Homo-oligomer: A and B are copies of this chain.
């Protein structure tokens, strides 16, 4: 199911869960094993593994198994893609708002001039 959805769909979906955001937050401070990710969480290890799998399917996290330990790390490119999408819309809105404000000021100025003439 996951692979049929767009990368942004999967990344935003992955980040919509507080447990997965806590994992991304932890991994932003350095790689961690699945057990280390599980430690602060009040849930079973299989539930933790399932969250890690959602993060991996979204591309936000990669993991590598060495011996019996699976270590996870953030994938900054995926994080940057999500960030760029948001930043672009926020900037677009700010440009729009500046234009609307300028237009509003111009209209008020014209009305005041017309009233005064």
A residues apposed to B, CB below 8 Å: 6, 8-10, 12-13, 15-18, 21, 24-25, 27-30, 74, 76, 79-80, 82-83, 85-90, 92-94, 96-97, 100
- Quick one: closest B residue to A25, CB to CB? B89
Residues of A contacting B: mostly: helix
A9-B18, A74-B93 known; 9 new pairs, CB 8 Å cut-off, are: A8-B15, A10-B16, A12-B16, A21-B85, A28-B90, A74-B89, A79-B86, A80-B90, A83-B87
A27 to B76, CA, bound (A): 28
Q: Which of B24, B28, B86 is A96 in contact with, Cβ under 8 Å? A: B28
Question: How many angstroms from the CA of A86 to the CA of B90 in the assembled complex?
Answer: 14
Q: Which residues of the partner chain B approach A74 to less than 8 Å between Cβ atoms?
A: 89, 93
